[in-house]
Amino acid sequence: MSVNLRESWWIGEVEVPTRVVLAPMAGVSVQAFRRQGRRYGAGLVCSEMVSCAGIEHGNERTLGYLRVASDEHPLAIQIFGSDPKAMAEAARMVESAGADLVDMNFGCPVRKVTKTGAGACLLQDADLACRITEAVASAVSVPVSVKMRRGVEDGSRACLEVGPRLVEAGVGLIPAGGGSTAMTRRAAERVPDGAQGDLFPFFRAALETIAMARVSGSAEEARALGILGPADLVTADADRQFGDARETARHLADVGYRPPTDGSIRVVGRRGIAAAEALTYNQLLAHQVSEHDRKVVLELARVMSGGDVAEGTLLSESYLLDLEREAFLRLLGERLTRERIRYTLKTGKPLRN
């Protein structure tokens, strides 16, 4: 696979003219260095890490790091710190100084930085990392990025905990990046007799996995839950997962792989919606779920059933993806969902409302 380094790409609204990015380096990435970087082909340059405490206290030297020249755009200014409020304020200052992007340092392992709770040690505190990210992202209108490493210690896998912590149903949403659709397709693929077999039990199991925010603890469990399909590869050695995934992606690119064009997915239709309505109604009467839990599950059931269609209907993937997006936006418009998201980001725990 070859990449054209001269091709432009986008980070949000910011066009980066080449694929070469100049890494941030403390004591090195001063303005003169960045300007030379841009002049000699870097598409994006980044300041050295700037302390948000220094910005907060108006430290003259720190504020000097925020000077931006007209010929260095696009430019990211990197900030570090451990207090969400101070980081948000620093991000605002960085944006008004003229930076095109705000980058946050969650990767520096140097003691001077980690002893203040900033840099790489944020990877060991996923709650705080999420709170800082939320505070910074909502303080500015430019794109926000995070530079991280695997963790503080060699061989650490702390970085893997920050990402998958928020399971959608736990915060009043449904998977809308293709997840509900993928689980619907996998449920249909699991029916032993193919098109003749009864899809309903597999639909119900997939619905429950998402609705109860179940997370697998191993590849075997993921297979049993229908999250992984029989053809999905499993790497037993955790340290090789990234490498194996990269090799597989490279191989697929080399052999010219293209995702299958819009195949048809068999759905349970109205039967699925009716079953979910009856089940959640009984759960509501027995105080096992709240009104809002019920609403979330019914939105999910509508997507995974394919909507108001007959059992056995074949639907295209793009149709299900549309249903998924519509349901997601409806739930995002719900006050109770937004309260759940806010609470979980703040405390790391689910809110039952």
Ligand X SMILES: Cc1cc2nc3c(=O)[nH]c(=O)nc-3n(C[C@H](O)[C@H](O)[C@H](O)COP(=O)(O)O)c2cc1C
Helix axes 200-211, 270-285, angle to 10 degrees: 50
Task: Please list every residue from 101 through 160 that binds ligand X, using CB under 6 A.
Answer: 105, 107-108, 147
Q: Give the nearer residue to ligand X in terms of CB position, either 147 or 204.
A: 147
**Binder among 24, 84, 272, 306 for ligand X (CB under 6 A):** 24
Q: Is 284 in the site for ligand X (CB under 6 A)?
A: no
Q: Distance (Å, rounded) from C-alpha 319 to C-alpha 192? A: 25
Q: Give the nearer residue to ligand X in terms of CB position, either 25 or 213.
A: 25
Residue 92: closest CA among 27, 61, 148, 138: 138
What are the catalytic residues? Answer: 108
**Binder among 48, 277, 311, 326 for ligand X (CB under 6 A):** 48
Smallest distance from the beta carbon of 48 to ligand X, in angstroms? 4
Q: Give the nearer residue to ligand X in terms of CB position, either 105 or 181.
A: 105
| 256: its two tokens | 């010219």
- How many positions of this chain bind ligand X (CB under 6 A)? 12
Q: Distance (Å, rounded) from C-alpha 322 to C-alpha 308? A: 14
Four-point Cα dihedral 321, 324, 325, 331, nearest 10? 180
**Binder among 28, 238, 310, 329 for ligand X (CB under 6 A):** 28
| Position closest to ligand X via CB | 23
Q: Is 78 in the site for ligand X (CB under 6 A)?
A: yes
Q: Distance (Å, rounded) from C-alpha 180 to C-alpha 320? A: 8
Stretch that binds ligand X, among 20-28, 190-198, 207-215, 274-282 (CB under 6 A): 20-28
**Binder among 11, 14, 26, 137 for ligand X (CB under 6 A):** 26
Residue 90: closest CA among 117, 63, 130, 129: 63
Helices marked H in the chain: 31-39, 52-56, 60-64, 84-96, 111-114, 126-139, 159-162, 179-190, 200-211, 219-224, 241-254, 270-285, 291-305, 317-332, 335-347
- C-alpha Rg value of the chain to the nearest Å: 24
Q: Give the nearer residue to ligand X in terms of CB position, either 107 or 172.
A: 107
Smallest distance from the beta carbon of 22 to ligand X, in angstroms? 9
Q: Give the nearer residue to ligand X in terms of CB position, either 106 or 203.
A: 106
Binding residues for ligand X, rule: CB under 6 A, are 23-26, 28, 48-49, 78, 105, 107-108, 147
